[in-house]
A and B are shown apart, each in its own frame.
Chain A
């Protein structure tokens, strides 16, 4: 397993939007390595660049500086080779396709045969617990269910890397916690690495092995926090270690603002 290249390797990545005086430095000096099979969260206040960072990895945004390697290749190559799957805050399901056809989409786009597609899509729906809804339309599903379909779709081609941009952001707290548990179960069965962007500290801590704390103006990484909680189940949410880890992340997020306040005062 240690022979596998890191899922993500970012070196000195920077991203500037706009030119001249109006330019914003969304990202600067980003160095980050995500090992194969590792679950990493990106957390930080608005404007810290976490979504931009995810999009650099996905090759949806081109960095102005530095290199982004995914699975040992350039991000562009990785996108063309379909080495990752992505899920956004909106499920983005195509309303005119059935749930099954939505999951089949990435397979259909890259030439998989009809039977093979169907089989794989049914397998994935089974994985996310939605086999009974294969023939339904997305509009008949709740928000949480739509996101599960989106996750199933993201896993269609067995990617080595899963990118997720606040996929549970639009859901209520109870559904969120359920989805987090589901996600961990799915990830354990697929051994994909995950880069997960979130606003929520408990979510970041519960899901990840490492939390990457970022801060804005300019967007940069300020802390890398290891989370050692062992096996994650519902009981963990109420354990002392969980709260301790949350506190550590919160302090890291705050610590930066305290520093910023000192700097400006």
Chain B
């Protein structure tokens, strides 16, 4: 089947590149005798993953839960705000430039404020930071999708004497789905990144961030890199989940010729 073949044939350049990269890395560290301070061997990192996998999993679970909770709440808030802003012009005028401004600001810097507002032994500050980091891309992208309607569809709905709510339900919402999922893809990654970085502000010692810093402080660099690998895997998992959700929710995109 042509589809399957072209899919697989598209896979080999990045796979080869990836394997080649790791192999070159291993060779470089060994041949140039690079100290683990700078760059540990991939094999040493892999070894550490194997050895400390319980601890790593526990840390990943903690960070992952924060990311998930913040993501879920941020999605609800972002979509809700977009729906409102698409109907209430003044809300749109206020939130959209604000969203553009917020994109230039490191949200995680708000963590200390939240740490004092709640308490530094709570997971709420981290989840709140994730929520905010998720809210804006979801809001901006979903709103963009809701605002667009192809002129021919608008005229068609008008010719059917369909009211604004019907038009929203039948045309605008389904047409906005691709935009929402673009926002979701960004938000899923942003959630994990925000969750990890917010952990660098002290507070609870759970999570991948504190695990990395403590490993680095103990000069256990291969282990630190192993935990980083886990963080990367977590980010990838969230991103792939978002891609999967997109495929499932929009079957018509796959079926096109």
Residue positions of A touching B, CB distance < 8 A: 58, 60, 79-80, 82, 84, 86, 88, 90, 92, 94-97, 105-106, 109-110, 137, 139-140
Output the least CB separation between B155 and chain A (Å). Answer: 6
On whether A80 and B161 interact (CB within 8 A), knowing A92-B153, A140-B257, the answer reads yes
| B124 interfacial by beta-carbon distance below 8 Å | no
Which chain A residue shows the least CB distance to B167? A109
| B156 interfacial by beta-carbon distance below 8 Å | yes
Report the Cα distance A89→B48, complex, angstroms.
64
Output the least CB separation between B166 and chain A (Å). Answer: 7
Name 28 interchain pairs, CB-CB below 8 A, sorted by A: A58-B159, A60-B158, A60-B159, A79-B159, A80-B161, A82-B160, A88-B152, A88-B155, A90-B152, A92-B150, A92-B152, A92-B153, A92-B156, A94-B153, A96-B175, A96-B250, A96-B252, A97-B252, A105-B170, A106-B160, A109-B166, A109-B170, A110-B160, A137-B255, A137-B256, A139-B256, A139-B257, A140-B255
Residues B252 and A86 in contact, CB atoms below 8 Å apart: no
Output the least CB separation between A171 and chain B (Å). Answer: 16
**Interface mask (B141-164 → A, CB under 8 Å = 1, otherwise 0):** 000000000101101101111100
Report the Cα distance A90→B160, complex, angstroms.
17
With a cutoff of 8 Å between Cβ atoms, the chain A residues found around residue B174 in the complex are 94, 96
With a cutoff of 8 Å between Cβ atoms, the chain A residues found around residue B252 in the complex are 95-97, 137, 139
Given contacts A94-B174, A137-B255, A139-B256, 5 further A-B contacts (CB under 8 A): A58-B159, A79-B161, A92-B155, A137-B252, A140-B257
With a cutoff of 8 Å between Cβ atoms, the chain A residues found around residue B156 in the complex are 86, 88, 92
A-B interface, 10 closest residue pairs, ranked by CB to CB distance from nearest: A92-B152, A139-B256, A96-B174, A90-B152, A80-B161, A86-B159, A140-B257, A96-B252, A137-B252, A137-B255
With a cutoff of 8 Å between Cβ atoms, the chain B residues found around residue A95 in the complex are 252
With a cutoff of 8 Å between Cβ atoms, the chain A residues found around residue B257 in the complex are 139-140
Which chain A residue shows the least CB distance to B159? A86
Output the least CB separation between B172 and chain A (Å). Answer: 11
| B76 interfacial by beta-carbon distance below 8 Å | no
